[in-house]
Amino acid sequence: MKKNETLDSSDDEISLTELLSVLWHGKRVIITGMFLFSALSIVYALKQPNLYMSEVLLSPADESNSDALGGLAGQFGGLASLAGVNLSSGSNNQAQLAIEILKSRKFIGSFIQKHKLLPNLMAAESWNALENKVIYDPKLYSIDSQEWVRAASFPYESKPSLQEAFKEFREILNIETDKESGMVKISIEFISPYIAQQWVNWLVEDINQVMKERDVSEANLSTDFLTSQLQKTKIADIRTILYKLIEEQAKTIMLANVRDEYVFKTIDPALVPEEKSGPKRALLCIVGALLGAIIGVVFVTIRYLKKENAHR
């Protein structure tokens, strides 16, 4: 048994030595693969346009109205339940709701349509820094006729759908929330630094406007309901609750009308970035060289194994 084990270990050592020898003799193939893939990765990296990231730092606005409703819930909660009115609205996190709406297909689709982002989003090829002008891919979009000319097969059409645009927009949109401070960072990465900044500003303006309109609509509906309930009851305590609730809805409407930064307050505004955020061209070249070396090693090894099998 000991002799067999010694022979087996000796064979393994010889096989490893032979493999290293084969790789050494095939070094030209490996080096050629490295240079070839390095050249291809360099060409690919140089063709990629520069990307610029613009970001804004936001703070959730003071939810004083929710605190007031929470106070009413503690003071009149029992009587309010008798009247069929729910005061427990303080648990709703407006900022988190706004973030989820910001990520939604409905909001992003409306955002793209409202600001006419489709050509820049789906057909932009590069950016002319001297003229501050976006250059479109002529195979996708004709700037002269302002028409889509891309070749598409079912279920897609020449003009990209909002579903396609949504997926593309989510690729360049990043939203981060600091769990400790509650701060929210929204960023856009695009080939034009000016457009990136503009889109970030529009996002903040639009989400504030959407949340404002949402709350005003709900406050108006609540006021109508509470007013109708007020006319139906003569119980003094319940009428007191209803008057307080109507007052809080009026405060919500007033606050929405006087405050532009309704849900998010800007702490650090979006700027036009001077330095590019991507692509990482050096990293692409390194990865290309490593890939070429690996493919070269695999090729030389397989060639050696085929020759060995042919001799047996």
Domain architecture of the chain: domains with CATH:
2-47+282-311 (no CATH), 52-278 (3.30.1890)
Q: Residue 89: what pLDDT?
A: 45
Q: What is the mean pLDDT of the chain?
A: 82
* Pick from 75, 107, 68, 112: nearest CA to 90: 68
User: Do the beta carbons of residue 124 and residue 134 sit within 8 Å?
Assistant: yes
The answer to whether residues 127 and 134 touch, using CB atoms and an 8 Å cutoff, is yes
19 pLDDT higher than 80: no
Per-residue pLDDT, averaged over 114-133, amounts to 92
Closest CA to 42 of 281, 293, 290: 281
Percentage of residues of the chain with pLDDT beyond 70: 83
Task: For residue 55, give both structure tokens.
Answer: 């970001």
- pLDDT category at 1 given cuts 50, 70, 90 is very low
Q: Are 296 and 29 in contact (CB under 8 A)?
A: yes
